[in-house]
Amino acid sequence: MNAAAKPRVALYYAPPASSAWWRDGCAWLGRDPENGREIATPAHDVTRAPRRYGWHATLVAPFHMAPGVEFADVLACARAWASAVPRFEMAVKAAELERFVALRPAEECDDATLRTLAADALQALHALRAMPSRESIERRIAAGMSARQIELLRTWGYPYVFEEYRFHMTLSDSLDDANTRAAIVSEWMRRIDTLGPLPMHGAALFIEPEPGAPFTLWQRLPFNNAQDVA
């Protein structure tokens, strides 16, 4: 089988399954990646791209497994990493990221904490990841990338790692209309007032079964070996 046609695995943050944060986020995007259920939503027309990936924030971007690595190896490594991560609650805000809208940490200190968390996760899983081919990496160099981002892409297979990493939970497609982006920000700032802090209680392994297919939540990874709570 062509390597590009094999499943990809990603390590994401996902809110606890029983939480309003999980229900509201999945409903907004229009799909629950844990059970595969499609959800009718008024936001359906502006969430096509994030719907495929599921309600999440990237910790380790989707990757093919290295030769000889099995799903069980990834799961064992990811569980060991997650078991050492302390739970915490995080204040968030809705914000525009260029033409996208996303949830972001409200405090700089939390942004720094999550940058370290994602770096630790990447290093923990690195030996299990197959590096993209040189040709694939060169094709992914985009206009506007900094020299450092290109260096990270060539070394780690992804440009937005370490100091370039930004925790975000995508709420929209790329939208040219500034009024639409502003309306989404306002809507989610109202929701955040009701939902409260984001429960950073665990991560999850997601799988893309084949190129272009919707990602599914495969395994939840509670932090500190605790069970998910609402």
Paired strand residues for 65? 129
The pLDDT of residue 74 = 98
Sheet holding 202-208, edge to edge: 57-63, 8-13, 202-208, 216-222
- What is the C-alpha separation between 117 and 112, in angstroms, rounded? 9
| Cα separation, 129 vs 160, whole angstroms | 16
Q: Copy the structure tokens of residue 42.
A: 């008024």
Per-residue tokens: 174: 């790329």
What length does the chain have?
230
Beta bridge partners of 217: 206
> What is the residue extent of each domain of the chain?
3-131+164-223
Helix (H) or strand (E) holding 93: strand 92-97
Residue 200: φ, ψ to 5°:
-90, 75
For residue 42, the model assigns a pLDDT of 81
Q: What is the pLDDT of residue 172?
A: 98
Give the integer Cα–Cα distance in Å for 143 and 141.
Answer: 7
Amino acid (one-letter) located at 31: R
Q: Identify the helix (H) or strand (E) that includes residue 124.
A: helix 108-125
Task: Give me the residue label for tokens 């046609």.
Answer: 5
CATH of 3-131+164-223, one of 3.40.50.970, 3.90.1140.10, 3.30.565.10, 3.20.20.70: 3.90.1140.10
pTM (predicted TM-score):
0.93
- Each of the 230 residues of the chain gets a pLDDT tens digit; together they read 455 678 999 999 999 999 999 999 999 999 999 999 999 988 889 999 999 999 999 999 999 999 999 999 999 999 999 999 999 999 999 999 999 999 999 999 999 999 999 999 999 999 999 999 999 999 999 989 999 999 999 999 999 999 999 999 999 999 999 999 999 999 999 999 999 999 999 999 999 999 999 999 999 999 985 444 43
Q: Among 75, 164, 181, which Cα is nearest to 128's?
A: 75
One-letter identity of residue 186: S
